[in-house]
Amino acid sequence: MDLDNCPRCGKLYAKNFKNMCSACIKDIELEYDRCFKYLRENKGATIHELSEATEVSVKQITKFIKEGRISVANNPNMMYPCEVCGILIRDGNMCDGCRNRLTRDLTAASREERQAGGLESGGNNAAYHTLDRLRKD
């Protein structure tokens, strides 16, 4: 039997597919039920209103959304924080601004890498061309 400490409460438990002790799994299911019932009656609730009303953390509600247990399609005001900057979004892990900045940074890094590689080979080629001109046949 493989044992581990529960990441949520710290108690020792027999490892399972949820990587959590059975008491915490039960608590999370109760939290989900509270969220589900609240959203059934309050379709226009935001994530912060849901958190305050049910006493479930925004982080846990975000996990429910990402797991597909809470639908943002059925709840028009339901949004969760961007993993980078924290602005509220409705899909993905990052807002458009952070995604664009990441794309721009990766493109720039790739371009710099290509240019650095090109200078080395270009520098070597230039040296060989100079030697070829100086060489006497």
Q: What is the mean pLDDT of each run of 10 residues along the chain (137 residues)?
A: 92 93 96 97 94 96 94 91 93 93 90 72 50 49
- pLDDT at position 135 is 53
How far is it, in rounded angstroms, from Cα 129 to Cα 34? 75
- pLDDT at position 53 is 97
- pLDDT at position 21 is 95
- pLDDT at position 137 is 46
